[in-house]
Amino acid sequence: MASPEIDTLTQALSRLPGLGPRSARRAVLHLVKRRETALDPLLRALEAVAEKLATCSICGNVDTTDPCGICSDTRRDSRSICVVEEVADLWALDRSRLFPGRFHVLGGRLSALDGVRPEDLTIDALLRRIEAGGIDEIVLAMNATLEGQTTSHYIAERIEAFPVRVTQLAHGLPVGGELDYLDEGTLAQALRARRPVA
Amino acid sequence: MASPEIDTLTQALSRLPGLGPRSARRAVLHLVKRRETALDPLLRALEAVAEKLATCSICGNVDTTDPCGICSDTRRDSRSICVVEEVADLWALDRSRLFPGRFHVLGGRLSALDGVRPEDLTIDALLRRIEAGGIDEIVLAMNATLEGQTTSHYIAERIEAFPVRVTQLAHGLPVGGELDYLDEGTLAQALRARRPVA
Ligand SMILES: [Zn+2]
Ligand SMILES: [Zn+2]
């Protein structure tokens, strides 16, 4: 019954993560009832992003500038690079403000199952960044999955020849994690990596 | 850390109902990673709606045409008008496909507390539609709240002089409603309006 334009907008919104058909309809209603305060600002915001959207030619981040805001931020430590699987991981780590260096987005993880080989990831670009010099540390921040760890080991081996420190995120109990709710893999890893009490 | 454009988009999305800051960030990431399949379609859909957005001069519906799709649909029964408080109510009833007639959006409900008086609603426009003739029934579909029912009674009185049937939505147990979870008001209404078992 709704107009084709409104239907199309509802469908486009319902494909966003976290918005089903029902909440998309509520969002559309919200937008059409608030043209000046909701619809027009969202439209302008989307236009601005769409106009400038770029993949950073250095790190693979998605941003509205190339190089991205992180790569061009001179206050950041250019001597350490945190390697992540996806842009989502970069954004999550960046949001935490815990890592003061720069990033490198692989664009995925090695996977025999999905047929993802080293040349499908940006590993060569990472090696070129290291070769160019000025890098002290590579932090491997792959997911704690089998494929993530395979990727991590593969990259660590490829970097071995370079005079950089290679580290990876610690695995173990998540903060607030209760032992009896954790999977065996996490428990095993936490036990293996146990440290003397300070 | 994100660019101003991406921040602005995240904020605009986070103001939609059902999307908090966290899901707005995920939605933005989804959009910027899928320019052709997500961002551009959403942008075009918003543009199309923004370009044509109109409030129906007959019923107050929000649509991309004036008169709206419902008022200009000749297959609908033009002899009955369902009066609702808000556009959201019209959309909900229209989606149910249970009402074959047309609508009238009041734009709110009478409220001493919020200072909403009869002249703040589209009651005069409703009376003009009735005066113009060709209407058999007015269905009052206000919310089952004190203010909704006050509005309902007020409109019913204003319409009394016209030769139209005035009805209102039945109140009672919601389908699937369990007695011991219902509030007293609903229970009282359901008891008052009890009917002989068929
Ligand atoms: Zn970058
Ligand atoms: Zn209309």
Collect contacts of A189-196 with beta carbons under 8 A, ≥24 apart: A189/A144
Local confidence band at B197 (pLDDT 50, 70, 90 cut-offs): low
Residue A16 and residue B6: Cβ atoms within 8 Å? Answer: no
- Residue where the block lists tokens 């209407």: B135
Nearest to A32 among B26, B53, B95 (CB): B53
pLDDT at B7 over 70: yes
Residues of A in contact with B97 (CB under 8 A): 1
In a domain, A147, yes or no: yes
B38-53 pLDDT tens trace: 999 999 999 999 999 9
The whole-angstrom distance between B160's CA and the closest CA on chain A is 32
CATH at B87: 3.40.1360.10
In a domain, A159, yes or no: yes
A108-150 pLDDT tens trace: 999 999 999 999 999 999 999 999 999 999 999 888 888 998 9
In a domain, A181, yes or no: no
Contact A99, A139 (CB under 8 A): yes
In a domain, A36, yes or no: no
Paired tokens of A165: 């420190």
B72-130 pLDDT tens trace: 999 999 999 999 999 998 998 888 888 899 999 999 999 999 999 999 999 999 999 99
Residues of A in contact with B1 (CB under 8 A): 69-70, 94-95, 97
Instruction: In whole angstroms, give the CA distance from residue B26 to residue A24.
Output: 15
Euclidean distance between the first and final Cα of chain B, in Å?
67
What pLDDT score does A170 carry? 81
Residue of chain A nearest B29, judged by CA positions = A88
Contact A182, A173 (CB under 8 A): yes
A19-40 pLDDT tens trace: 989 899 999 999 999 999 999 9
What pLDDT score does B1 carry? 62
How many other C-beta atoms lie within 10 A of the C-beta of residue A156?
Answer: 15
Q: Are β-strands A137-140 and A102-105 bridged in parallel, bridged antiparallel, or unpaired?
A: unpaired
Instruction: In whole angstroms, give the CA distance from residue A43 to residue A9.
Output: 12
pLDDT at A96 over 90: no
Total count of domains within chain A:
1
Contact A46, B43 (CB under 8 A): yes
Q: Indicate the DSSP class of residue A37.
A: I
User: Of chain A residues 49-108, which have a CB less than 8 A from chain B?
Assistant: 49-50, 52-53, 62-65, 69-70, 87-88, 91, 94-95, 97
Instruction: In whole angstroms, give the CA distance from residue A51 to residue B49.
Output: 20
Mean pLDDT of chain A: 91
Angle in degrees, CA B150, B155, B161, rounded to 5? 140
Residue A36's SS3 state is helix
Residue of chain B nearest A4, judged by CA positions = B64
Roughly what angle, to the nearest 10 degrees, separates helices A40-52 and B4-14?
Answer: 150
In a domain, B16, yes or no: no
Residue A65 and residue B29: Cβ atoms within 8 Å? Answer: no
Local confidence band at A197 (pLDDT 50, 70, 90 cut-offs): low
Contact B155, B104 (CB under 8 A): no
Local confidence band at B198 (pLDDT 50, 70, 90 cut-offs): low
Residue B43 and residue A47: Cβ atoms within 8 Å? Answer: yes
In a domain, B153, yes or no: yes
Hey, is the C-beta of A195 within 8 angstroms of any chain B C-beta? no
Task: Please name which of B143, B80, B146, B142 lies closest in space to residue B113, comparing C-alpha atoms.
Answer: B146
Least confident of B113-122, B149-158, B164-173: B164-173
What pLDDT score does B33 carry? 93
pLDDT at A160 over 80: yes
- Taking phi first (over 0 means left), then psi (-120 to 50 degrees means alpha), and beta for anything else, what does residue B105 get? beta
Q: Are β-strands A165-168 and B54-55 bridged in parallel, bridged antiparallel, or unpaired?
A: unpaired
Local confidence band at B171 (pLDDT 50, 70, 90 cut-offs): confident
A181-190 pLDDT tens trace: 777 777 777 7
User: Which residue of B7, B9, B34 is the best one to mutate when testing the A interface, meaning the one whose CB has the most A CBs within 10 A?
Assistant: B9
Residue A49 and residue B38: Cβ atoms within 8 Å? Answer: no
Q: Complex ipTM above 0.85?
A: no
**Domain around A122:** 77-168
What pLDDT score does A86 carry? 93
What pLDDT score does B180 carry? 77
In a domain, B161, yes or no: yes
pLDDT cut 90: percent of chain A above it: 71
In a domain, A87, yes or no: yes
